[in-house]
Amino acid sequence: MVTQKRRRPTIHDVAAASGVSRGTVSRFLNGGHNVSPGAAKAIQKAVKDTGYVVNQHARSLVTSRSHSVAFILAEPQERLFEDPNFNVLLHGATRALAEHDIMLLLTIAGNIDDRKRVSRYITSGHVDGALLVSSHSGDPLIEELRGQDIPVVTIGRPLGHEGDVPYVVSDDREGARQMTRYLMDRGGRKIATITGALDTSGGVDRLQGFREVAGHGAPVAEGDYTLAGGRAAMERLLAAHPDLDAVFVASDLMASGALIALRESGRRVPEDVAVGGFDDSPVAMSTAPKLTTMRQPWTQLSRELVRLLLAVIDGAEPSAIMLPTQLVVRDSA
């Protein structure tokens, strides 16, 4: 039996079924202003009877709004799953957007091809704006989006675009200073740091904060925000400076890797080496020992991210928001 693919009902069918004009149906659908109770009732019934659902393309064509927003993860896909920070951010943004009845679409732009597809998808009007997560400096995505006047806001300073693209960040530099000071105050005499990726603002700012307190001679190992990277960096640090007694690691995930390296080298944490992380991400609670870290205000960050994006969509000028971090003392330092 061939089931005839039935045509979807349109606003025209609803108008016919309810005995009013298409304009009136449309008005009813869009808030019900200027439609009499009688008409409203008839339309409501007709919608139900016909099974009408708006055609979003038609609507968007005239309103130029899609009521959806992209969450662009400009990272290899593995990172999305490895780093709980993204999860937290995604969750926060979804919640904040839901309040405005806006749909959040996760889009992964891991490699060149993905980036192109994502860029095309977004510039051709599918979404009203984009949240760009984890933008490395020199990322062409941001240029492309800007070039097409797509509202975009980034989490973290968009290096090289601080003036023209709005963003929200934690006060990375001050956070790093505070943690470094804490580690030194509790007795650290020989302190080092493991940095984040140095083409991101979190990477450079946390390193700068560290140096401002620990001095420019303090040992530095470059990390990349992954667990494996943190572990490798810790091994290098230990090889070069066996007498280390404190280390500030620029992310909790890397710190969990550093903890492994430390354990394997036979050192106790915090007795032999104190470890301070950054993020207060979910991993901080699952390491042994639990991580002392700088809390990023995730909920607030995602709220502000969304608020800013909506403002920009509504035509506001780009602006930036910086939020303070907070020391959370647990067991690793």
Partner DNA sequence: CTGAAAGCGCTTACAG
Which residues are at the interface with DNA (CB under 7 A)? 7-8, 10-12, 19-27, 29-30, 33-36, 38-39, 52, 54-55, 58-59, 61-63
Which of DNA, its own copies, none interacts with 262 (beta carbon under 5 to 8 A by kind)?
none
Please, are residues 199 and 138 in contact by the beta-carbon 8 Å criterion? yes
Partner interacting with residue 216 (select from its own copies, DNA, none; CB below 5-8 Å by kind): none
Give the whole-angstrom CA distance, residue 134 versus residue 117. 18
> Which letter, b or e, does each residue of 262-281 get, where b requires 16 or more Cβ atoms within 10 Å of its Cβ?
beeeebebbeebbbbbbbbb
Two structure tokens written together for 30? 């869009």
Stretch touching its own copies by CB under 8 A, among 4-12, 14-22, 34-42, 303-311: 4-12
CB 31, min distance to DNA, A: 9
Q: Of 64 and 271, which has the nearer Cβ to DNA?
A: 64
Residue in the block written with tokens 């207060």: 280
- Among its own copies, DNA, none, partner that 148 touches (CB below 5 to 8 angstroms by kind): its own copies
Q: Does 24 bind its own copies (CB under 8 A)?
A: no
In the list DNA, its own copies, none, the entry touching 84 (Cβ below 5 to 8 angstroms by class) is: its own copies
CB 222 within 8 A of CB 249: no
Q: State which residue, 57 or 216, has the beta carbon closest to its own copies.
A: 57
Q: Is residue 109 a contact point for its own copies (CB under 8 A)?
A: no
Among positions 215-254, residues that touch its own copies (CB under 8 A) are none
**Choice between 50 and 87, CB closer to DNA:** 50
Residues 33-62 within binding reach of its own copies (CB under 8 A):
51, 53-58, 60-61
Is residue 91 near its own copies by the rule CB under 8 A?
Answer: yes
Nearer to its own copies, 116 or 236 (CB): 116
Binds 50: which of DNA, its own copies, none (CB < 5-8 Å by kind): none
Return the residue matching tokens 């490798």.
232
Does 126 participate in binding its own copies (rule CB under 8 A)? yes
* Interaction site with its own copies (CB under 8 A): 5-6, 8, 51, 53-58, 60-61, 66, 68, 77-78, 80-81, 84, 87, 90-91, 94, 98, 101, 103, 105-108, 113-114, 117-118, 121, 123-126, 147-149, 315
